[in-house]
A and B are shown apart, each in its own frame.
Chain A
Amino acid sequence: MSEQEYVPKSKAGKWFNDRLPLLSLASHLTDYPTPKNLNYWWTFGGILTFCLLTQIITGIVLAMHYVAHADLAFASVEHIMRDVNYGWLIRYIHSNGASMFFLAVYIHIFRSLFYGSYKSPREIIWIIGLMIYLLMMAAAFMGYVLPWGQMSFWGATVITNLFSAIPLVGDSITTWLWGAYSVDNPTLTRFFSLHYLIPFLILGLVVLHIWALHVPGNNNPVGIDIKKPSKDTVPFHPYITIKDTFALLLFMIIFAGFVFFAPNVLGHSDNYIQANPMVTPAHIVPEWYLLPFYAILRSVPDKLGGVILMFGAIFILFVLPWLDTSKVRSAVFRPIYRQFFWILIIDVLVLGYVGAMPAEGIYLVLARVGTVYYFLHFLVVLPVVGYLEKTEPVPLSISEPVLSGSADYSMAKKDNEKI
């Protein structure tokens, strides 16, 4: 992986490194040549690693006090909030941490969309990233079920019922998922078990994600291939580590703002009512980070169709590297794609908003328009724009200005700052 062979200075170090090259790995990680023009949108990889570790550590502590039983789960959460020393802090970090995790992952994904980080030769990084995102959604959904409040119970009922839309075997699959004939204690215990497992699967995928990243190296705001190491790169440590730390601290300030001053604002008040199979809440809504998909699901009058579109909305991202026909990576040099990128962001925000509203009237119309546009963006806009768009001249390197045309690096930089 590394360009030049690393040799430990001490004899003991060399002895160990010959047998297990951990020191070589550490040297590779610190020296890893990184483009020097990475902006703050590139700091979210580190932030996401922090989020994952925070969730794992707080989750392990919560699991010491939580009781996965339909009759006791709700009370055990209150026990954590009231009787466990700083239990409220651990739990609020964990519950708000999920939201912060998704906030960061959405920024990370849209950064990739803007700068074309998913394009050759980084398709595998992108696909592993999507697998992480899928697992995150599964973990978040199951985690939301664990407090066994009203939204936990009814959210679980709605989502697991989606599988009953599968022809012929749907009902059997749903019963198998439940471990009962409705969402009940067996469902809770298996969700707890899987909720504990998934973060470690994510951790494994994160290692692969970073490994795959270190083969071609980072994309950058200009989106060009760069020589490594060169004038265009800086060693990862201390240049990127310090910048990531600074960005992480700003992120933690926002995180702390939620935890200490508005810990329940992102949750639903109904989840402080213990689960009751006999009482259905007026509106069953998922957590905010799943709302766009919920809107797509409900925009289709047919259940199976809705389920297919909802999963399609995620799986279409897996073939994104092959749908985008443009050879230029960064949207900085793609004047037409850039516009569509912002329209897509608005589309997703609108879908998220209508996902929280009842599926009727104007909301349903908006959800349908939004859903159609979402798929149009990936299936029509991206392939067509790639062919037709006249891209702006791309510089040859990060340090040197472009040879011709208006798009010199300082302009690219200006553009980066605008977003």
Chain B
Amino acid sequence: MKKFKLFFCILLSLTIFNTLKSAEQIDPIKVDWSFKGLLGKFDRASLQRGYQVYNEVCASCHSMQYLSYRNLGEPGGPEFSEEEVKAIAAGFEVTDGPDAQGEMFTRPGRPSDKFVSPYPNVNAAAAANGGAYPPDMSVLVKARKGGANYIYSVLVGYEDPPPGITLDEGVYYNKYMIGNKIKMPNNLSDGLVDYADGTEATVDQMAKDVTTFLSWAAEPELESRHKTGVKVILYLVLLSILVFLSMKKIWSRVNPEV
């Protein structure tokens, strides 16, 4: 009993420390994402809309260098049809080569190509964006504390700076951004994109869709991971019940209570 009291004390003190600590920063908005939880799955339509937002808005600055166009058609992702993926890929110009003459050439993209980056390298990206390099978005959701909630919160967290805070040219105020200063302007405005499925393109809708898309991009294995996980754990539970019963039987020879 004493031990439990001690553990209770330490737990309590840890909780107090934690609340003290987190009081300094605003927690991101909690969204009830469809892909959270043990059986969480991506919303297919939202992923397709999210890709559209990425492609029409984000992609002019942010690369996604670890994704291939074929990923867009794979199970567990936006699941565009084969023709759609081919059409998407063909819409990009890919530098290839060298050819037999030793020259580089451009050709239309193929599903096997990686996403074409907007800038040739990090320095070019930084130079074109006031010195701030727009991070690659392939694993962005995993690379930020708070994950999808944080990304969504930043997208909808633009505000006029509170009095007393002056911002430099090209710097914007964002409630949820660490340090509240961000070099990315608020790029989302109502009706900015024309959703193919007729969904109304509000800022909130676009932020949710593109965050869903980025969450998939960071964890394309999520759905099959969840599905496999449920099977694996069910199997382990059943096996441990069988082993437990065998153990009882075996130990009953020496000592009825193991």
Contacts and interface: CB of A to CB of B under 8 A. Distances in A.
Interface of A: 36, 75, 78-79, 81-82, 88-89, 92, 234, 238-239, 242-243, 245-246, 249-250, 252-253, 256-257, 259-261, 263-264, 269-270, 272-273, 282, 342, 346, 349-350, 353, 357, 362, 418-419
A260 B143 contact: no
30 contacts: A75-B65, A78-B66, A78-B139, A82-B67, A89-B221, A89-B228, A92-B225, A234-B254, A242-B250, A243-B258, A245-B247, A246-B240, A252-B236, A253-B236, A253-B237, A256-B232, A256-B233, A260-B229, A260-B233, A261-B38, A269-B143, A269-B147, A270-B143, A272-B139, A272-B218, A342-B3, A346-B7, A357-B21, A418-B3, A419-B3
Interface in B59-91: 65-67, 71
A256 B142 contact: no
Given A342-B3, A346-B6, A242 B243 contact: yes
A239 B250 CA distance: 7
B144 interface: yes
Contacts of A78: 66, 138-139
A401 to B, nearest CB: 15
B6 to A, nearest CB: 6
Given A239-B254, A242-B247, A260 B240 contact: no
Contacts of B138: 78
B226 A261 contact: yes
A308 B98 CA distance: 57
B229 A259 contact: yes
The list of the 3 closest CB pairs from A to B, nearest first, reads A260-B229, A272-B143, A249-B240
Given A78-B66, A272-B143, A256 B229 contact: yes
Given A246-B243, A357-B21, 7 more contacts: A82-B66, A239-B250, A239-B254, A249-B243, A253-B240, A261-B226, A273-B143
A309 B7 CA distance: 27
B226 A350 contact: no
Contacts of B228: 89, 260
B94 to A, nearest CB: 18
B236 A238 contact: no
A82 to B, nearest CB: 6
Contacts of B7: 346
Interface string B1-43: 0110011001000100100010000000000000000100000
B144 to A, nearest CB: 6
B255 interface: yes
Contacts of A282: 178
B239 interface: yes
A82 B225 CA distance: 13
Interface string B121-144: 000000000000001001100111
B10 A82 contact: no
Nearest to A267: B142
B240 A238 contact: no
Nearest to A413: B257
B251 interface: yes
